[in-house]
């Protein structure tokens, strides 16, 4: 059982696992691209919606500097606590607020830039969330959003194995991750009266940990973690064996390499 890495460190909080295991391999590389696209400027006020543990917010803070301001908003207080802890030494004024994306606790027309990374596809009311983004933007303000595109085969292998070995409903979570397409994203922004809407898709090459390690690092930071870890050890081991076998085609040395399609959108108030 010691070879099945997913059975270790289950006492760590989900937020700590997320910051330690997941952020460096997927959110951090994508955050850097999103910040380059959004181009925060010194002195700007920035909102990061669904900020998680704050990787996008911290990169924005580096750009806006001490004369700017960054507010991170998330529904999960544990995520915000980790974000605040790891951002303690940042010179830029930063605030962390617990709130839903469709009811941002911010005044009208008060921010220059709204960022949202890997979150919009999960919001119960996507339209309301995008309208809130526009509401808090000052005249001429802008928004930059990214979401995953079409589900790549690497994730399909994991989804199929979860449904087969653990619970037939679990693949629905992974389908949700990849559920927001280009056309809907463009429509959401236009329906909220954003201008100069630009939506693009590009493949991001990601180098991930070895198969068994990545499988459990990923699953342990998802909402389905409890259901997976509650399954009998034999079923978890069968899940791992199937996924590791199915991921051999993505191996480069000890690492997995995946081309992840990323949809990015920008628009102006």
What CATH number did the domain enclosing 97 receive?
3.40.50.150
The number of beta carbons lying within 10 Å of the beta carbon of residue 261 is: 16
Question: Are 60 and 36 spatial neighbours (Cβ–Cβ below 8 Å)?
Answer: no
Q: Strands 255-268, 137-148: parallel, antiparallel or unpaired by DSSP?
A: antiparallel
Question: Are 173 and 241 spatial neighbours (Cβ–Cβ below 8 Å)?
Answer: no
Domain encompassing residue 70: 14-151+178-208+259-268
Model pLDDT for residues 75-99, shown as the tens digit of each residue? 999 999 999 999 988 999 999 999 9
Phi and psi at 213, nearest 5°, equal -65, -45
Decide if 166 is inside a domain.
no
Decide if 232 is inside a domain.
no
Question: Are 213 and 17 spatial neighbours (Cβ–Cβ below 8 Å)?
Answer: no
Q: pLDDT > 70: what percent of the chain? A: 95
Rounded alpha-carbon distances, angstroms, from residue 57 to 90, 161, 176, 194, 196: 11, 35, 24, 22, 24
Decide if 87 is inside a domain.
yes
Decide if 240 is inside a domain.
no
Dmax over CA atoms of the chain, in Å, equals 58
* Contacts made by residues 36-41, CB under 8 angstroms, sequence distance 24+: 37/144, 37/264, 37/266, 38/113, 38/115, 38/142, 38/144, 38/266, 39/63, 40/64, 40/68, 40/113, 41/112
Task: State if pTM tops 0.85.
Answer: yes
Decide if 37 is inside a domain.
yes
Decide if 234 is inside a domain.
no
Q: Report the domain count for the chain.
A: 1
Is 50 exceeded by the pLDDT of residue 7?
no
The mean pLDDT of 244-256, rounded to a whole number, is: 96
Decide if 3 is inside a domain.
no
Predicted confidence at residue 244, as pLDDT, reads 97
Residue 47 DSSP SS3? strand
The per-residue pLDDT of the chain, averaged, comes to 93
pLDDT tier at 104 (50, 70, 90 boundaries)? Answer: very high
Question: Are 254 and 210 spatial neighbours (Cβ–Cβ below 8 Å)?
Answer: yes
Q: Which uninterrupted H or E stretch holds 222? A: none
Decide if 144 is inside a domain.
yes
């Amino acid at each position: 059982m010691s070879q099945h890495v997913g059975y270790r460190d289950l006492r760590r909080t989900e937020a700590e696992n997320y910051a330690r295991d997941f952020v460096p391999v997927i959110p951090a590389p994508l955050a850097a691209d999103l910040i380059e696209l959004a181009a925060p400027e010194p002195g700007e006020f920035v909102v990061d919606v669904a900020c998680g543990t704050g990787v996008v917010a911290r990169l924005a803070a580096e750009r806006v500097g001490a004369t700017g301001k960054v507010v991170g908003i998330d529904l999960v207080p544990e995520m915000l606590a980790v974000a605040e802890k790891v951002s303690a030494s940042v010179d830029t004024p930063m605030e962390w607020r617990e709130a839903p994306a469709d009811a941002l606790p911010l005044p009208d027309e008060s921010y220059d830039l709204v960022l949202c990374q890997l979150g919009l596809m999960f919001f119960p009311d996507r339209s309301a969330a995008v309208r809130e983004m526009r509401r808090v933007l000052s005249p001429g303000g802008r928004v930059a959003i990214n979401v995953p595109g079409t589900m790549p085969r690497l994730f399909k292998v994991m989804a199929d194995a979860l449904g087969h070995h653990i619970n037939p409903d679990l693949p629905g979570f992974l389908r949700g991750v990849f559920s927001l397409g280009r056309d809907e994203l463009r429509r959401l922004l236009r329906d909220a009266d954003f201008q100069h809407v630009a939506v693009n898709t590009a493949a991001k090459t990601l180098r991930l940990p070895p198969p068994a390690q990545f499988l459990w690092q990923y699953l342990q930071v998802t909402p389905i973690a409890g259901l997976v870890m509650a399954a009998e050890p034999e079923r978890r081991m069968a899940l791992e064996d199937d996924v590791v076998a199915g991921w051999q085609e993505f191996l480069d040395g000890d690492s997995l390499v995946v081309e992840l399609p990323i949809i990015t959108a920008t628009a102006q108030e």
